């Protein structure tokens, strides 16, 4: 599946078509608008961008989900490196909110838990 539209439309389409997924930001591509280093849900990324960089949601994007890759590219930034990698739950580490607590006001109010692994 390939969808050429705005980043906002691509994110909403992804949330609708593939609800059990997480997004990981590509910090070198996104710079200051990268969400955080851990995987987050589409709704968390949309909320972050609406608050921090609403015009970014209007950028032209390409959502690609096929046998080789699952990613979102930004046309004016990079057509070779994705802005977001799409991972399906069960194939990635557990969702975590710890790096984004200051940007997400309701993290604790929603009862989100952070999974921590102890090193032995």
Q: Does residue 92 fall inside a structural domain? A: yes
Among 7-16, 42-51, 72-81, 102-111, whose mean pLDDT is lowest? 102-111
114 located within any domain? no
Sign of CA dihedral 73, 2, 66, 18: positive
In a domain, 118, yes or no: no
Q: How far is CA 2 from CA 22, 24, 27, 105, in A?
A: 18, 19, 23, 34
Which one is predicted more confidently, 84 or 33?
84
User: Cα–Cα distance between 53 and 4 in angstroms, integer?
Assistant: 21
**Total domains in the fold of the chain:** 1
Mean pLDDT of the chain: 77
Containing structural domain, residue 10: 2-100
The answer to whether position 54 is within a domain reads yes
The verdict on residue 49 lying in a domain is yes
The answer to whether position 78 is within a domain reads yes
Whole-model pTM: value is 0.72
> What SS3 class is residue 94?
coil
* Phi and psi angles of residue 82, each rounded to the nearest 5 degrees, phi first: -75, 150
Q: 1-38 b/e with 16+ CB inside 10 Å = b?
A: eeeeeebbebbbbbbeeeeebbbbbbeebbeebbbbeb
Judged against a pLDDT cut of 60, whether residue 92 lies above it is answered with: no
- Please indicate, yes or no, if residue 13 is contained in any of the structural domains: yes
Task: Answer yes or no: is 20 within a domain.
Answer: yes
pLDDT of residue 14: 94
Q: What is the mean pLDDT of residues 39-43?
A: 89
Q: Which residue has the tokens 């851990």?
A: 38
Q: What pLDDT does 115 receive? A: 33
Unique residue bearing structure tokens 């989900």: 65
């Amino acid at each position: 599946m390939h969808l050429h539209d705005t980043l906002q439309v691509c994110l909403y389409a992804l949330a609708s078509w593939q609800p059990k997924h997480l997004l990981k930001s590509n910090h070198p591509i996104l710079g200051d608008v990268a969400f955080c280093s851990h995987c987050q849900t589409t709704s968390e990324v949309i909320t972050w961008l609406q608050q921090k960089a609403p015009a970014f949601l209007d950028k032209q994007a390409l959502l690609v989900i096929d046998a080789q890759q699952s990613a979102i590219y930004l046309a004016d930034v990079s057509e070779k490196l994705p802005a977001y990698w799409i991972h399906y739950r069960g194939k990635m580490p557990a969702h975590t909110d710890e790096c984004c607590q200051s940007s997400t006001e309701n993290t604790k109010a929603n009862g989100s838990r952070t999974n921590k692994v102890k090193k032995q």
